[in-house]
Amino acid sequence: MQTKSGQKTLERVISKAGLGSRTQARSWIHAGRVRVNGKIVENPDHWIDFDRDRVLFDDKPLQVRDRVYLLLNKPAGYITTFKDPERRPTVYDLITGVDTFVSPVGRLDLETSGLLILTNDTQFAERLTNPDHRISKTYLVRCESVLPDGALEQLRRGVSLNDGPTRPAEVRRREGTEVEIAITEGRNRQVRRMIEAVGSKVADLRRVRIGGLGIGGLAEGSWRELNAGEIGALGGREVRR
């Protein structure tokens, strides 16, 4: 959320600084741990101009941390939220040791594995997730049945879902019941719903590429930092060190 003048809410400023999630930021603000221009502010929706207002967290100046870009090979069985009321494992359990709060760029559902980017660069994340930028996300899909050629053509043209028609997808048949699908949208469980729309179901789903960035030889459950060339190729900015 952002005003015309470029201000942001206090919770957004704290989260964007890399200290924690927006939910955590709200709890810290309510607890009176944040001062703005010398005064305790307990309203997370208080508007801040970070270039002009002095923000203290636990009486220390709030500073925007270096931008961080991580590539994680997410296993199935992990969710892409910070905390889960059902106490299921989350992707944050896999990136211990990262001292800056990062957010997933888009989501992979519980049973989907593969390439997940996490970052504290909100503009970079918006570029990758906004369908207007048409950055492709490529998945390997093992279906419960072999898709006939007609079904593949339907996917290439676009199929009708309950939230509207999909854009045309790039589709390539692989061995057996496996197909490769590249889409430029990111709707909830979109690939699974597309496969159901052409008469089958997904048995296994793995994201292997975003734009030109592939999962490579990264072991499942492991992560690494993106290098400057990878960040630039995806439209990110130079990383401050």
CATH number at residue 162: 3.30.70.1560
**Confidence bin at 2 (pLDDT 50/70/90):** very low
Return the closest-CA partner of residue 18 out of 98, 108, 75: 98
238: exposed, middle or buried (C-beta count within 10 Å: 0-12, 13-18, 19+)? exposed
Active-site entry in 99, 109, 149, 163: 109
Query: What is the 8-class DSSP label of residue 125?
Result: H
Q: Is residue 205 situated within a structural domain?
A: yes
Q: In the chain, how many domains are there?
A: 3
- Out of 61, 77, 97, a domain closes at 61
Residue type, 225: E
Residue 210: strand, helix, or coil? strand
Q: Is residue 3 situated within a structural domain?
A: no
pLDDT at 84: 86
What is the span of the domain harbouring residue 222?
69-130+213-233
Find all residues with CB under 8 Å of 223, minimum gap 6, and list them.
Answer: 70, 71, 72, 73, 94, 95, 118
Given a cut of 80, is residue 64 above it in pLDDT? no
Residues 225 and 126 in one domain: yes
pLDDT at 67: 87
Return the closest-CA partner of residue 162 out of 190, 181, 139, 141: 190
Q: Is residue 74 situated within a structural domain?
A: yes
Residues 219 and 206 in one domain: no
Q: Is residue 56 situated within a structural domain?
A: yes
pLDDT at 186: 87
Given a cut of 60, is residue 238 above it in pLDDT? no
* Nearest 10 degrees: Cα torsion 34, 39, 43, 46: -100
**Confidence bin at 212 (pLDDT 50/70/90):** very high
Active site (annotated) includes residue 109: yes
Report strand pairing: 69-74 vs 55-57.
Answer: unpaired
Q: Report, as an integer, the average pLDDT of 36-49.
A: 91
- How many Cβ atoms from other residues are within 10 Å of residue 54's Cβ? 12
**Confidence bin at 5 (pLDDT 50/70/90):** low
- How many Cβ atoms from other residues are within 10 Å of residue 32's Cβ? 10
Helix, strand, coil fractions of the chain, as percent rounded to 5: 20, 30, 50
Q: Are 143 and 201 in contact (CB under 8 A)?
A: yes
Most confident option among 91-100, 120-129, 149-158: 149-158
Specify the CATH number for the domain of residue 117: 3.30.70.580
What is the per-residue pLDDT across 125-163, written as a single tens digit (0 to 9) for each? 889 999 999 999 999 999 999 999 999 999 999 999 999
Q: Are 17 and 66 in contact (CB under 8 A)?
A: no
Q: Report, as an integer, the average pLDDT of 171-198.
A: 96
Report strand pairing: 202-210 vs 113-119.
Answer: parallel
pLDDT at 236: 63
pLDDT at 207: 98
- Residue 123 and residue 102: Cα distance in Å, rounded? 13
Structure tokens at 100: 């800056």
- Residue 149 and residue 88: Cα distance in Å, rounded? 39
Angle (CA) 224-230-235 rounded to 5° is 125
- Residue 177 and residue 74: Cα distance in Å, rounded? 23
**Confidence bin at 237 (pLDDT 50/70/90):** low
Q: Is residue 1 situated within a structural domain?
A: no
Q: Report, as an integer, the average pLDDT of 207-232.
A: 95
